[in-house]
């Protein structure tokens, strides 16, 4: 079974630009969550999607947005990039909910997309 795939792996942008990151979950996983990882803040939750609906959102400005498609693939977008947005963005998928199987918290992570904002 293929793992979680994130694209692109590396990208460099300049301030003010926007970026779109993609995440393909493990087949059958309906939940996709996104995290921002920085050396100072660790892992911070951005948002989580389940069946194309955003169920949870972290404390990030509205410049950070996401969506999920009917095939569970997800994208996140960051508009008007700032220097502080430089980070590793991780995507994780999971089987969520007692009816869909899986154990709580069993996240499967991708390798991440490393964004550098100049």
Binding site for another protein (CB under 8 A): 3-4, 31, 33, 35, 41-45, 48, 50, 55-56, 58, 90, 92, 96-98, 103-107, 109-111
Nearer to another protein, 44 or 79 (CB): 44
Q: Are 34 and 20 in contact (CB under 8 A)?
A: no
Shortest gap between Cβ of 67 and another protein (angstroms)?
A: 17
Q: Residue 58 Cβ, how far from another protein at the closest point, in Å?
A: 7
- 29 or 81: whose CB is closer to another protein? 29
Kindly provide the residue ranges of all beta strands, DSSP E only, lying in 18-112, ordered along the sequence: 19-24, 31-38, 42-50, 53-57, 64-68, 74-78, 87-94, 108-109
Choice between 55 and 63, CB closer to another protein: 55
Q: Give 3-state DSSP helix, strand, coil % of the chain, rounded to 5.
A: 5, 50, 45
């Amino acid at each position: 079974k293929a793992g979680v795939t994130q694209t692109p792996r590396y990208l460099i942008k300049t301030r003010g630009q926007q970026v779109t990151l993609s995440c393909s979950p493990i087949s059958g996983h309906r939940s996709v969550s996104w995290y921002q990882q920085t050396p100072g803040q660790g892992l911070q939750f951005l948002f989580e999607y389940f069946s194309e609906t955003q169920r949870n959102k972290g404390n990030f400005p509205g410049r950070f947005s996401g969506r999920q498609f009917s095939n569970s693939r997800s994208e996140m977008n960051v508009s008007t990039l700032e220097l502080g947005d430089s980070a590793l963005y991780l995507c994780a998928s999971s089987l969520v909910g007692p009816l869909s199987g899986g154990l709580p918290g069993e996240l499967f992570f991708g390798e991440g997309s490393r964004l550098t904002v100049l």
